[in-house]
Structure 1
Amino acid sequence: MSQHLLDPSWLARLERMQLATRKVVSGNQAGGRRARQLGSSMEFADYRAYVPGDDLRQLDWNAYARSGKLFLKKYLDETELHVTIYIDCSRSMGYGEPGKMHRAIQVAAALGYLSLCNLDHVSVYAFDSGITASIQGLQGKKQAHRLLGFLSSLKEGGTGDLHSAMRQPGAVRGKAGISIVLSDFLFESGYAGGIAYLQAARQEVTLVQVLSQEELQPAYQGELRLIDSETSQAKEVSVTGLLIEEYRKSLSDFQEELTSFAYGRGISFVAIEAEQVLESIVFQVFRQAGMIR
């Protein structure tokens, strides 16, 4: 089940990483993040792999003697982060080969898996004009099979509407945390309202725009009948070089607008192509963007 979502050969690299957050988290359960206030209990919670820069005093030398690998003990004074991933499953996300939705699901699998390995609380919501499926409150590496099973079951839905989906009861967590939205953001009703609703719920928002190479550099020409995948509306179009240039400019303007909107609100924004290799997206694009570390 997990083989087509994540390559087992680089899962160990994912386990050594974590989502970057600008906020210091707090809570009362075991996790992989440093809390605002240290807990009074030094009860052992779990292990995690050593990462350069970690406190060497926390190394478990007995574990090293057994395995030859460096591990740190994690205690109850390290606290969890709530991570919520929203996947756009509207019909437009099925475009491309591989489809944008398939790549978004793989990205969600990678981000969810590394979060589980850090004992973060992970929830995933699929949406079109509403929440179509969800799995909530997963914690710990042992929950990875549930995460991957849920992601593997997702199907394309109908017309996308981010604002409507985010306002559905239960769509946004009450606790502060990180919310990652994976979408092409090509919503007829726009994206600003839905994102603002997430921020109002104390979410540190990251937008990951997924577009296909054919959307970025279309190779169409001649007389065509184009059909909207979500509304089924058709339009006869004479595709010329001039029209393609106008399309590219409109798309560029849209991406610049989305980028400016995000940065203006203190939101992280990353653009990826569906055809990019997943390993490159995670370990190069996301690391360079500061999403993970």
Structure 2
Amino acid sequence: MTAKYLLPEDWLAKISRFQVATASKLRGQHKGSHRSQRFGASLDFSDFREYHLGDDVRQIDWNVFARTDKYFIKRFLDEQEMRVHILLDATKSMGEDAKWLFARQIVASLGLMVLGRDDRLSFSFIQEDIKPPFRRKGAMYRRAFLQVVTDIEEASYSGSFAQGALKVLPKDSTVLFIVTDGLEPIEEWEQLLKRLPRYAGDVRIVQIITQEELAPHYSGDIRLLDRETGNDVNVTMSSKVLDTYHARRLLHEEEFEAICRRFGIRKLQLKVEDGLQYAIFQQFVKAHWIR
């Protein structure tokens, strides 16, 4: 299939034993593979409680009645599906080849975990023409999901990711993953993040960066092109210019971290050059985002 280039050949087998981990209360109304905090009709026994008028008499434990001469009913753990939404930043700043491939590989890996565990997956990205998100449940849709992610060939959205994100988000998610480089102005991120808890009980930002962004290697007189606006500027890359860049980048990161903490949102920074295996099997596991 055309999705083969997006992930290594043996990748599905490697991630099939993992699943998304969350302590958030599950919101799905359909049966799934996760224990919810509610009680229902699964086969896993929880405890007893006294019978009250209106309770299902079929749940009465007659063995307990024989011993105590009181009516008790059995309670069972309910099984509820997890609803996971993945939102991909497709603005032009994500368009550098290695970054864009890596971001889609992260999206694909997370989605395959969700679909392989009988949970409900939805996926969206911002584009010029708003389209319905991908929504499916079950392992039979893994190939279709891979194809959808593969077919997003370019990061070409010219607007603001932070300002447009809410237009493509469902409001019924258990876990919301946002895959982005986080380069939007802090003021725009703040306006978005403070509204996200109403969309999901567990919000996580996967920040994709490159070594070039962390430590530019340019020197001398160069022309820089802004991917977002298309504007260019001539710059002499002196040590002073580089120092100013590093200071501004660090300030942006500190402020980004601070607003994430303020709104109870977890953030994980992944460097493209570290590779997909390190990101999934080391960073995601260590952060307890998957298990």
CA displacement at 1:28 relative to structure 2: 3.1
CA displacement at 1:131 relative to structure 2: 6.7
Give distance in 2, aligned partners of 1:5 and 1:124.
17
Residues 37, 78 of structure 2: 8 Å contact kept: no
- Runs ≥4 in structure 1, deviation > 6 angstroms? none
Partner of 2:53: none
Q: Which amino acid aligns with 2:190?
A: A
Residues 83, 179 of structure 1: 8 Å contact kept: yes
CA displacement at 1:146 relative to structure 2: 1.0
Quick check: 1:183 aligned with 2:184? no
Partner of 1:124: 123
Residues 84, 124 of structure 1: 8 Å contact kept: yes
Q: 1:176 to 1:3 in 2, by over 3 A?
A: closer
Residues 224, 233 of structure 2: 8 Å contact kept: yes
Partner of 1:237: 235
Q: Which amino acid aligns with 1:162?
A: F
Residues 14, 114 of structure 1: 8 Å contact kept: yes
CA displacement at 1:10 relative to structure 2: 4.0
CA displacement at 1:213 relative to structure 2: 1.0
Give the secondary-structure state (helix, strand or coil) at the position aligned to 2:285. Answer: helix
Give distance in 1, aligned partners of 2:171 and 2:177.
15
Partner of 2:268: 270
Partner of 2:37: 36
Q: 2:210 aligns with which of 206, 209, 212?
A: 212
Partner of 1:196: 194
CA displacement at 1:39 relative to structure 2: 2.8
Give the secondary-structure state (helix, strand or coil) at the position aligned to 1:238. Answer: strand
Give the secondary-structure state (helix, strand or coil) at the position aligned to 1:230. Answer: coil
Quick check: 1:23 aligned with 2:24? yes
Deviations 1:15-42 (A, max 9, x none): 2211121213143322121122243255
CA RMSD of aligned residues (A): 2.3
- The percentage of counterpart residues that share the same residue type is 27
CA displacement at 1:76 relative to structure 2: 9.9
Partner of 2:49: none
Q: 1:131 to 1:253 in 2, by over 3 A?
A: farther
* TM-score normalised by length of structure 2: 0.81
Partner of 1:280: 278
Residues 35, 77 of structure 2: 8 Å contact kept: no
Q: Which amino acid aligns with 2:177?
A: I
Quick check: 1:6 aligned with 2:20? no
Q: 1:223 to 1:201 in 2, by over 3 A?
A: same
* TM-score normalised by length of structure 1: 0.80
Deviations 1:165-201 (A, max 9, x none): 2232xx2212141111111121256322222222232
Residues 95, 156 of structure 2: 8 Å contact kept: no
CA displacement at 1:270 relative to structure 2: 0.5
Long gaps (5+) in structure 1: 43-74
Give distance in 2, aligned partners of 1:263 and 1:289.
15
Alignment of 1:245-260 (within 5 A): 245-260=243-258
Q: 1:267 to 1:131 in 2, by over 3 A?
A: farther
Partner of 2:144: 146
CA displacement at 1:122 relative to structure 2: 0.6
Bigger radius of gyration:
2
Residues 193, 263 of structure 2: 8 Å contact kept: no
Partner of 1:84: 85
